[in-house]
Structure 1
Amino acid sequence: MLSQSTQQQNLKPQQLLPVETLKSLNQRSNVKGILQLMAHLMVMGVSGYLWGSQVLEGWLAVPFLVIYGFSLASMFATLHECVHRTAFASQRFNDLVAWWAGVLSLYNSTYYRPYHKWHHRYTQIPGKDPELAEAKPSNWREYLLHLSGLPWWWGKLQTYWELITGQLDNYYFIKENNREAIIRSARLQILVYGSAIALTTALGHPEAFFLYWLLPLAVGQPILRFILLAEHTGCTYDDNPLTNTRTTLTVFPIRLLMWNMPYHSEHHLYPSLPFHALPKAHQQLAPYFQQIENGYLKVNQNLVQQF
């Protein structure tokens, strides 16, 4: 019988799962997707209510602001899953949820789809992977600045300005036939934000947009940055999916709000797998991965120890 190392040498990474196993895991489900979305929205609704309703006063409300903020920021994970069109069996529903999840998390799904497709095609390849355009932190100042979310906010302002004004020449991953759809989508998203501000102001609550979206999202961003740093930082700069991506074993609340994205090595090896299949895939694929870590604290601790 062949040893595991010998089998790994004889198989391409994408062949590690048997065809029948992969076929079974690839089954998408509207029911599982809707239940997952409802759970995420329930966390958002309850924590948002406890933050904004003044049921709890002063510092007692702050933990719910943090939970609410992270539930908003982690709508990025919802968008990510829907952009892959694996959250639901319905492609139309995937696209609809992706767009509104982007509104909540300040991403644009129409733009993110080609960006993320290019990231998967050229993961960790310098000069080709668009995620490498932002350098990873190499000292404490860069690390704390990254966690603050300030570079992310500045990048969003720049990107949305270029999208709504049609300045897409530097976005090498956007094909010519996608340009108009991306411009329209970005303009519509900005219109949604403007309409929300106008409506809340007309209703006598001009502070609502800031208190119930902008501030919580800013509070949630450092947690999301802390988590996303683990996906590829410190991994190999090559096209080997067994070494260029990290899976992080973490607690259920994080896995829930991140739609199982912590199983990131499994996702990159088989992007077609829906979120609910990743834990099962992990059971079979874990022995092959070089980058598996117990917890995000450990990943970030290892990162800062290299400064």
Structure 2
Amino acid sequence: MWLSMAANASAPAQRILLVTGMLGAGKSTALRELEDLGWESIDNFPIRLLDRMVGGDAVAGSLAIGFDCRTRGFVPAEIIEQVKHWVEEDENLTISTLFLDCAGHELERRFNETRRRHFLAGDLPVSSGISAERELLSPLRRWANVLIDTTDFSTNDLKQTIRDQFSQTAPAEMTVTVSSFGFARGKPPTADLVFDMRYLANPHWEEGLREQTGLDEGVGEFIESNPIFASSFSKIRALLLELLPQYAEQGKTYVNIAFGCTGGRHRSVYTAEKMAQVLREGGFSPTVLHRNLGSRAEDLVEGSQHP
């Protein structure tokens, strides 16, 4: 539950999530996942400078701030009082706290596995540092809005829990890109899904179509005249409409769907444009990119008169 909700719609709202907890419990992983969900993330920001990030002239938006016992100026009771003051003073400010906890025996195992020294242990065993830290953080643990115990979690478990807890309040939607490219000029390295359209007859070898592209009506009619195009396109469409919501549910921020042909000017371009329109009708807002559309139509690139 958020501590305050913006009441003045005319003023820019600011939403802050304070992320803290036991060292080794997964704060860095949580912050990275929140960043993937669209939050701006800052870790170990000095407490004395925190008021510059909150309210007033601070930038509106969603900000996740990580801090722990290593953070300069870390005094839990003072942090709690300061947050209460900010919320009372600014009705457009929303602040919540996420506390990441973990059982002592598992924290010891993690520290020993990574051969790290506990910040509060000094020359004493890791267990002593963990006990001191737990006592220090107890006010924040009791006060936190969201508590996640990572004792039995893998890294993926924690990522999924963060997505489950915060994806509905994430400020950014998944970005979908539909692109075309030519295999002769190399595959796009960032593509998540690649579809090879070279099973279709190549318009490059049709009289009057070589200098045209997949954006031209004649090329589109030629591609559509192949009976295999309609059935294969339908299957790809069904696959994408099934997969994209699953990617979004898993917290994926960017999905790049790439269609390739030999030169990247005809078959891939037409299919990418047609698929982008289908995705728009399905509720997505894809960006369309044609990597090789400006390339010259060359026999050397297209090869022989076969796909």
Please give the TM-score of this superposition, normalised by the length of structure 1.
Answer: 0.24
Look at both structures and tell me which one has the larger radius of gyration over its CA atoms. Answer: 2
Task: Answer 1 or 2: which has greater strand percent.
Answer: 2
Task: Answer 1 or 2: which has greater helix percent.
Answer: 1
Please give the TM-score of this superposition, normalised by the length of structure 2.
Answer: 0.24
